[in-house]
Structures are given as structure tokens and as C-alpha cells.
Amino acid sequence: MALLCSGLWRIPRPSRRLPAESLSVTAHSLIHFNDGTEDRSVRWRSESGAAPPKRVVIADDTMTADSAFRFASEGVGLLWRSDFQNARQLLQALMRRVDRPRKPKRKQEKADAAPGAAFHRHRQAQAQRAHTLSMLLIPLEGDYGIPLRRAPDVRLTCSEAWGEADGEASVVSLRELLGLIGAHEWRKKGVDVPALGAHIHPHYGVFAPIRNEYVKLVAQATLPAQTLAFDIGTGTGVLAALLAKRGVARVVATENDARALACARDNIRRLGLEAQVEVVEADLFPEGRAPLVVCNPPWIPSQPSAPVERAVYDPGSRMLRGFLAGLAAHLEPEGEGWLILSDIAEHLGLRTREELLALIDAAGLKVKSRSEARPQHPKAMDTADPLHAARAAEVTSLWRLVAR
């Protein structure tokens, strides 16, 4: 593939000084530049909705990692115009620099003793890290091709995430592009779910069922009935599929996210469960009542920084509160609501057990029983993780709730 080939991506070779004035960025998600003959405007892509860098320089193999890190730390975008694999190596070098340990200040250590403070500092650090690493930019042609040497063919990958190409050239963060590539591989190969005895194929932007403990809890709990079940916020459709595999005659799974709807329907089709499972678009509950209503809401009451994080972070516990508030009205007499919830928020100082129990009580519900499981994921064992204490103490529970 030609290096930044002719057409929209014909950009003059930079000098070694790489002046920041070589490109300018508008507030309308477009990058304006001069290709040597005329001014051009190129679309900016960001899944998280991040604004484009206000300053952009053209970068290639002549730029050192230290120089690139200085630019990126200042929020200056680096539009790459050399070998693609070298861009990946530069991103790794930026990661090493941004992840260098920093000794906390004494005031910071004292502040971190407050409930939730360590978590919020961790989220801030994550956000700053993501912002810095997102400054390395890759050009895309109108068909999603990458006009760089040794670049992979990502046309199918991008089409899965963004829809069919419209012929418009664009720029995307290399970090985000690698995320798309990784999601494509997961979608192609699938994620093994032992409790289901099958693979689930997550789509881009839909949280993958890589933690098996919550699925195992649903697999082991005694069903109150096998006639009908609702799965609220189905995501990939894994719990709806599991209920169907366990013999529930009809499962209605709800979602309000377009990508998750497509993902759940794809997985139900792959598993041959379309006669049992119906995936419908709804904000929380479908119409009617059921003897079993299952919900695995986001576990942490905090603001997500990207769409895929909506499966983990839920500002103000909106979904949890909505599920509990509407559950009694959607349960058949003697029916059960299964709330699958980690207590990680309690260990992070973001929600207390008393607050959770108060929400259950205020919804006219009571706890029939509770089963629990400890996580087995690697982060629970990683003592270097800033949130290790909370992760090590975490317990995931299946709360069996009934109307009072």
C-alpha cells in the first residue's frame, strides 16, 4: 500500500521539527489540512465522543518516543504517516512512559483514606492515560482502508463497528482502532461460557461475559417456574440463552442499546434458540408479568467514559433503581426476581449494603434468599492493582426477591 497515497491523504512530508501549525482542528470534529495543493477537511472518529485534538502534527519514524510522549501529554495529536507496525511500537513506548510509577504526595495519601477517594483517583488516572494514548492517530480511506505500509485490512472490522463505508476519509486514534480489531477477533472466535456449554460472540461495544461467576450463579439457582422468564438488559444475550438451555419455555430479553440488540439476536440465532427466546427493544421491562424476572445491572454507580463501560458503570444506579422499583408490578403471584449484583461498590465506598436493602424495601420487595460466589478473574489476584483491596474482598450475589 502506498504511503499516505494520493487523493485525500496526499500530505506533504514534514520537516524534522514537525511544526504544530502543519494541521489545525475545528470544533466540528473535522481536521483541516493542506495537502500541498489545496485545503482538505477530514472526519474525526471517536467512539467515546471525545473532541478531536486542538493541535495536530504529522508524525513518522523520525520522531522519537520521548518527543511523541511530550506532544501527547500536551494533548497534541500525532497523525501517523509511516509504517503501521512502527506506529504500534510507538504506542507501546507511550504506554511504558505513561505507566511509570509516580510517588503520591502526602496530601494525596491522606485524601485517599476517604471512602471512594482511591476509586475516583483511579478513574481520573485512567481517563488521563486514555487521553494521552489516544493522541496517536491513523488515517482511514473512504472504504476504511489504511494507507500505510504493513497495515492490516480492517475494512470488515470497521464496517462491523461503524456500518458500511460511505466513501469519506477519516482519522481515528490508533488505540481505538486496535480496540476494534480486538473486538472483531472476539466476535469471530467467541467467548467460551462453561455454564452455558457454548460460545457467546460479543459485538463491538457490548460487554463480553468473561466473568463466569455470575453466569454460574444463574445456572445453579432453582427455577421458580419453567414457563416464562424476563431477562432485563440482556447485553450479549448470555443469561437469556442460559435460561432457555435450562428449559424455560419462553424467555423475553430486553435491551435499549442498538448494538446489544443486534448482538443478542445474533447469539440467540447462533445457538438455535430463536423459538424460545425473543429479544425486544425496551427500557427495562417488557409488557406483562412473569414468574421469573432476571437482571444483571451495572455494578458500579459511576459515570462511564465510553459506551462499552455502560455495562459496568451506571450513574446514580439508574438501572438498579429502575429494576427494583418496577419489579413487583412485573412478577406473577409467587414469582421471583433475580438480582445479580457484585458488592464491589460497597468496598469502593460508593454504595452501602444498607442503601441497597433500603431500595429493596422501598420497592415493596423482600429477600427470599441469597447465593454468592467469589470472583476468579486475574485482577482479584493482582496486588499491584490500585483497587486490589476492593477486588480481593468482592463477592457476587444472586438475590432472590419476592413481593411483600
CATH of the domain at 357: 3.40.50.150
- Whole-angstrom CA distances from 235 to 89, 158, 192, 307, 335 are 34, 21, 16, 12, 23
Residue 66: the pLDDT is 97
Domain count, the chain: 2
For residue 149, what is the enclosing H or E element? Answer: none
Mean pLDDT value of segment 331-348:
95
Residue 5 within any structural domain of the chain: no
Residue 11 within any structural domain of the chain: no
Domain hosting 115: range is 20-185
Which three cell numbers mark 166? 460511505
Last residue of a domain, one of 185, 217, 248: 185
State how far the Cα of 219 lies from the Cα of 397, in Å rounded to an integer: 13
Last residue of a domain, one of 128, 152, 185: 185
Same domain, 195 and 170: no
Percent of the chain surpassing pLDDT 90: 69
Same domain, 31 and 90: yes
Mean pLDDT value of segment 76-94:
96
Q: Does the pLDDT at position 318 exceed 90?
A: yes
Residue 115: the pLDDT is 57
State how far the Cα of 249 lies from the Cα of 64, in Å rounded to an integer: 62
State how far the Cα of 51 lies from the Cα of 30, in Å rounded to an integer: 10
Which pTM value belongs to this model? 0.85
Q: Does the pLDDT at position 22 exceed 60?
A: no
- Comparing 24-33, 234-243, 363-372, the range with the smallest average pLDDT is 24-33
Same domain, 291 and 334: yes
**Of 17 and 397, which is predicted with more confidence?**
397
Residues 6+ apart with CB under 8 A from 380: 374, 391, 392, 394
Residue 4 within any structural domain of the chain: no
**Of 376 and 283, which is predicted with more confidence?**
283
Amino acid making up residue 291: P
Residue 107: the pLDDT is 56
Q: What is the pLDDT of residues 168-225, one digit of tens each?
A: 999 999 999 999 999 999 999 999 999 999 999 999 999 899 888 999 999 999 999 9
Confidence at 114, pLDDT banded by 50, 70, 90: low
Residue 7 within any structural domain of the chain: no
Q: What is the pLDDT of residues 201-212, one digit of tens each?
A: 999 999 899 888
- Comparing 2-11, 58-67, 306-315, 324-333, the range with the smallest average pLDDT is 2-11
Same domain, 153 and 251: no
**Of 210 and 378, which is predicted with more confidence?**
210
Same domain, 302 and 398: yes
Residue 28: the pLDDT is 47
Mean pLDDT value of segment 60-87:
96
Which three cell numbers mark 145? 482502508
Same domain, 131 and 94: yes
Residue 136 within any structural domain of the chain: yes
